[in-house]
A and B are shown apart, each in its own frame.
Chain A
Amino acid sequence: MANTATLTDRRTQWGGGKSPFNISYGKLMMWIFLVTDAFTFSSLLTAYGFIRHSFSGNTETPWPSPDVVFNHFPFLHGVHLPLMFVSLMTFILIFSSVTMVLAVEAGHRMAKKEVVKYMFYTILGGLAFLGCQAWEWTQFIIGSEQGRTLADGTIIHGANLAINEYGPVAFADLFFIVTGFHGFHVFSGVVLNIIILFQTMDGVFEKRGHYEMVEKVGLYWHFVDLVWVFVFTFFYLI
């Protein structure tokens, strides 16, 4: 009869007069927005896959190995540490998701001080990630000391939207636009988190009786984190 009970529940749940998922419209909207945003990232990653695939078997300008491009680490000049720095970045971002979970959980308990504490850590994590990304971009833009000599004798260092020392320009173009778009999302997330932090400190949510806003920005933050896992996989691992 357990089956029957769930069916009945579902029917009354969808019968109108209440939210079928038992969530507020705001949270529902955030979920829908995240699905939408996932499609935006998918379109960019699809473009990445499409262009990268067209370079398979190209021996003239082969797709660069990320191990060679991203092997720097701050203060360890000249040491070959492939993907160490980006791993650290990833760790920081995932850790900031953990503190976000703790903030949401504290919100459920209406523990204002703890929400403030964990939101602060989350913001710190986000800012650290953005800082790391800035450093990573800088290294990529500056390039190596020896550079690459083109057919006409000019030497190019590093990469921008028009040149790429390490291989096809398309690699640099895609790297900048995809990580840039993701970085923009992290930046927006940090701004949102800061707003929510201030509102929490003002006691807005305590007055309101629930910390749902923290939950909503939390959803966004986890999404940004999840997207990074894909970006990381596509650009650095594969």
Chain B
Amino acid sequence: MNTHTASIDVQHHHEEEHHNENFITKYIFSQDHKMISKQFLITGIIMGFIGMFLSLLFRLQLAYPDTKFTFLESILGHWGKDGKLDPNFYLALTTMHGTIMVFYVLTAGLSGTFSNLLIPLQIGARDMASPFLNMLSYWFFFASSVVLISSFFVETGPAAAGWTVYPPLSALPKALPGSGFGMTLWLIAIILFVVSSLLGGVNYVATILNMRTKGMKMTRLPLTIWAFLTTAIVGLLSFPVLLGAGLLLIFDRSFGTSFYLNEIVAEFAGGIERVGGSPILYQHLFWFLGHPEVYIIILPTFGITSEIISTNSRKPIFGYRAMIGSLLSIAFLSFLVWGHHMFVTGMNPFLGSVFMIGTLIIAVPSAIKTFNYLATLWKGNIIFTVPMLFGIGMVSLFITGGLTGIHLGNAALDINLHDTYFVIAHFHLVMGCAAIFGMISGVYHWFPRMYGRMMNKTLGYIHFWITIISAYFVFFPMHFMGLAGVPRRYYSNTAYDQFDVFMDMNVFITISAIIGGAAQLLFLFNFFYSIFKGKKSEQNPWNSNTLEWTAPVERIHGNWPGEIPHVYRWAYDYSKPGAEQDFIPQNVPDPGQTDELEEPNTLVHNPATQKETAH
């Protein structure tokens, strides 16, 4: 029965002996989860800055539609001719901004970084189940990033059909300049991305289920791990559908099929003989991924925030089991609500109301989570560290953005609000900014674990305040623009007199965005400066309970030099009455507690069981 456990141990001992690493195996084709995590983080940061830069370019156009910026020509060439942004390139910018932020920063950059870093360290494992697949996962991601970015150097420009790449713009290579080779590269990049994400996900789930250290029951896992587990499961079940959708799209583009083309499209495209399919089919397939995708983005930050808020409030997380339950129910519901992105496609109103009910039910687990965060903070001994501020900021943004989700999830209201700036405001706050805040708080919190040094606090505080204020300044006004009907994705709204009143608001938003963007340079500086020159960190700088802080700072391959610590308690024993310190790490047993002793499981109210296991 224990042969498999034995084989896991053998495998790990085998890995421990791998100390003769050279530069390439240590820094490039590394199979150590901690190094892979850094690779994901740094690639994610680079992609994040590219994505942010693109957004500033098109914000400039929205704020100053009539002004000429000569520097645009020098950086963009013929796309910025005479200092004016080319309208087609504007579409490419929004498309690439969305793609980069959603997939490359907040999916791979976020999950890739923290799942890789924390799963083995927090569950007490030497490494991922398959370090080799883990390495492949990063390199597929890297290849995918390179392909995506290379589409900027294609003559016709990158993909321009929006980050959702709806056909026919994406299916007919002649539809837009950006529907040409740039679109093909986009699809190749996404297919590589799906492979990377599946390799990662398979690994995360297998590691969490199979390789927890002794005593690490599922109900003792830190919430970060629960969040990564549900994220990985959601990804594993939704990304393959994107693969299918992308495959059909590639055939439509390159091999003359018509899965997504019908009579209406054919008519518009100049009477091509491509009928029989439906663009709506693509939307169904895409949103079957697309909706779970937003939870793939936000769930890891739920985990990170739970951990950080509990640690810095010096209080157990409020409603640990409710937190797990709400993670799981959000994950489950996320697969049933994709239709709320398609209320205006001519969907049967009855079907619309089904999707609406499902969508509004998600408010329940989401509210459970936010109330639990607030209850954890309530009367806590709060320490306002930088990660704590970003964690609270995440909760704040999530609430603000989440409230408008109730409007958008309503099939009747959505008809009015669909594809306006109201939607932009909603999803940027609830998943864009909230997830970025969660990610940044994670970086500040686990930076000492990654690099053995602390990030600069003062710069961190400045970074936080500028970022949160500019986030609200950028996205809050967009609600009003959206309510007034300003459509998203438009190059300029000067053609509509009724939108002239928003001209000043657009300038305000753009200036806020530029300031917010500049503040990220502080973070960038702080990050790279602290890697080399930061203050050396202590073993456990935040007085945290989880296992990663018991591993030595030297960050050896295999994580712990001797035996892996055993676990005797959950991760949230903060300020426990009677304890000497205000935290008790998971590997510290109660007096007299041994490995065999199981604490009574509150899920099983069976006195007989408790007696049997207590011997």
A: residues with CB less than 8 A from B are 1, 4, 7-8, 11-12, 14-26, 28-29, 32-33, 35-37, 39-44, 46-47, 50-51, 54-55, 161-162, 168-170, 173-174, 177, 181, 210
Q: How far is the CA of A17 from the CA of B481 in the complex (A)?
A: 55
Q: Could you say which residues of chain B place their CB within 8 Å of the CB of A169?
A: 257-258, 275-276
**Which of B204-212, B299-307, B501-509 lies on the face that meets chain A?**
B204-212
Residue of B nearest to A19 (CB): B210
Q: Could you say which residues of chain A place their CB within 8 Å of the CB of B241?
A: 39-40, 42-43
Please state if A17 and B4 are interface contacts (CB–CB under 8 Å). no
Q: Could you say which residues of chain B place their CB within 8 Å of the CB of A161?
A: 251, 255-257
Residue of A nearest to B218 (CB): A14
Please state if B210 and A20 are interface contacts (CB–CB under 8 Å). yes
Please state if A181 and B247 are interface contacts (CB–CB under 8 Å). yes
Known pairs A19-B210, A32-B201. 15 more at Cβ < 8 A? A1-B608, A8-B609, A11-B217, A16-B217, A17-B5, A19-B8, A20-B210, A22-B1, A29-B203, A40-B240, A44-B244, A44-B247, A47-B259, A168-B276, A173-B257
Q: How far is the CA of A54 from the CA of B275 in the complex (A)?
A: 12
Q: How far is the CA of A16 from the CA of B214 in the complex (A)?
A: 4
Please state if A54 and B278 are interface contacts (CB–CB under 8 Å). yes
**Which of B280-288, B323-331, B386-394 lies on the face that meets chain A?**
B280-288
In the assembled complex, the CB of B235 is this many whole angstroms from the nearest CB of chain A, namely 9
Q: Could you say which residues of chain B place their CB within 8 Å of the CB of A12?
A: 598, 613
B245 contacts A by Cβ under 8 Å? yes
In the assembled complex, the CB of A127 is this many whole angstroms from the nearest CB of chain B, namely 25
Q: Could you say which residues of chain A place their CB within 8 Å of the CB of B218?
A: 14
Q: How far is the CA of A203 from the CA of B257 in the complex (A)?
A: 48
Please state if A18 and B5 are interface contacts (CB–CB under 8 Å). yes
Q: Could you say which residues of chain B place their CB within 8 Å of the CB of A18?
A: 2, 4-5
Residue of A nearest to B6 (CB): A18
Q: How far is the CA of A51 from the CA of B257 in the complex (A)?
A: 13
B277 contacts A by Cβ under 8 Å? yes
B601 contacts A by Cβ under 8 Å? yes
B606 contacts A by Cβ under 8 Å? yes
Q: How far is the CA of A181 from the CA of B250 in the complex (A)?
A: 14
Q: Could you say which residues of chain A place their CB within 8 Å of the CB of B400?
A: none
Q: How far is the CA of A237 from the CA of B19 in the complex (A)?
A: 59
Please state if A28 and B258 are interface contacts (CB–CB under 8 Å). no
Please state if B214 and A17 are interface contacts (CB–CB under 8 Å). yes
CB within 8 Å of A: which of B257-293?
257-259, 275-278, 281, 284-285, 288
Q: How far is the CA of A26 from the CA of B517 in the complex (A)?
A: 44
Please state if A25 and B207 are interface contacts (CB–CB under 8 Å). yes
Q: Could you say which residues of chain B place their CB within 8 Å of the CB of A24?
A: 4, 7-8, 210
Q: How far is the CA of A18 from the CA of B8 in the complex (A)?
A: 9
Please state if B259 and A170 are interface contacts (CB–CB under 8 Å). yes
B129 contacts A by Cβ under 8 Å? yes
Please state if B276 and A170 are interface contacts (CB–CB under 8 Å). yes
B: residues with CB less than 8 A from A are 1-5, 7-8, 123-124, 129-130, 133, 198, 201-203, 205-207, 209-218, 220, 236-241, 243-245, 247-248, 251, 255-259, 275-278, 281, 284-285, 288, 566-567, 598, 601, 604, 606, 608-609, 612-613
Residue of B nearest to A18 (CB): B5
The contact of A43 among B129, B201, B243, B604, by CB within 8 Å, is B243
Q: Could you say which residues of chain A place their CB within 8 Å of the CB of B247?
A: 44, 177, 181
6 residue pairs, one from A and one from B, having the closest CB atoms: A43-B244, A17-B214, A170-B276, A16-B216, A25-B129, A16-B212
Residue of A nearest to B211 (CB): A25
Q: How far is the CA of A26 from the CA of B203 in the complex (A)?
A: 10
Instruction: List 22 A-B residue pairs with CB atoms under 8 Å apart, sorted by A's residue number.
Output: A1-B608, A11-B604, A11-B613, A14-B217, A15-B598, A17-B213, A18-B4, A25-B130, A28-B205, A28-B206, A29-B133, A29-B206, A36-B239, A36-B240, A39-B241, A40-B241, A42-B241, A50-B278, A161-B251, A170-B258, A173-B251, A177-B251
Known: A51-B278, A161-B251. A11 touches B210 (CB 8 A): no
Q: Could you say which residues of chain B place their CB within 8 Å of the CB of A54?
A: 276, 278
Q: Could you say which residues of chain B place their CB within 8 Å of the CB of A7?
A: 604, 606, 609
The contact of A40 among B4, B211, B243, B601, by CB within 8 Å, is B243
Q: How far is the CA of A1 from the CA of B211 in the complex (A)?
A: 30
In the assembled complex, the CB of A226 is this many whole angstroms from the nearest CB of chain B, namely 16
Known: A32-B202, A161-B257, A169-B276. A19 touches B5 (CB 8 A): yes
Q: Could you say which residues of chain A place their CB within 8 Å of the CB of B609?
A: 4, 7-8, 11
Q: How far is the CA of A5 from the CA of B309 in the complex (A)?
A: 39
Q: Could you say which residues of chain A place their CB within 8 Å of the CB of B203?
A: 29
Q: Could you say which residues of chain B place their CB within 8 Å of the CB of A55?
A: 276
Residue of A nearest to B607 (CB): A4
Q: Could you say which residues of chain B place their CB within 8 Å of the CB of A1?
A: 608
The contact of B209 among A20, A26, A41, A43, by CB within 8 Å, is A20
Q: Could you say which residues of chain B place their CB within 8 Å of the CB of A44?
A: 244, 247-248
Interface centre among B198, B214, B277, B601 (most CB of A within 10 A): B277
Q: How far is the CA of A55 from the CA of B608 in the complex (A)?
A: 62
In the assembled complex, the CB of B288 is this many whole angstroms from the nearest CB of chain A, namely 7
In the assembled complex, the CB of A26 is this many whole angstroms from the nearest CB of chain B, namely 8
Q: How far is the CA of A43 from the CA of B124 in the complex (A)?
A: 37
Please state if B240 and A51 are interface contacts (CB–CB under 8 Å). no
Q: Could you say which residues of chain B place their CB within 8 Å of the CB of A47?
A: 244, 248, 259, 281, 285
The contact of A36 among B7, B237, B251, B259, by CB within 8 Å, is B237
In the assembled complex, the CB of A59 is this many whole angstroms from the nearest CB of chain B, namely 15
Residue of B nearest to A168 (CB): B276
Residue of B nearest to A209 (CB): B3
Q: Could you say which residues of chain B place their CB within 8 Å of the CB of A29?
A: 129-130, 133, 202-203, 206
Residue of B nearest to A23 (CB): B4
Please state if A51 and B206 are interface contacts (CB–CB under 8 Å). no
Q: How far is the CA of A170 from the CA of B567 in the complex (A)?
A: 58
Q: How far is the CA of A44 from the CA of B220 in the complex (A)?
A: 40
Q: Could you say which residues of chain B place their CB within 8 Å of the CB of A4?
A: 606, 608-609, 612
In the assembled complex, the CB of B398 is this many whole angstroms from the nearest CB of chain A, namely 28
Residue of A nearest to B255 (CB): A161
Q: Could you say which residues of chain A place their CB within 8 Å of the CB of B209?
A: 19-21, 28
Q: Could you say which residues of chain A place their CB within 8 Å of the CB of B201?
A: 32, 36
Residue of B nearest to A51 (CB): B277
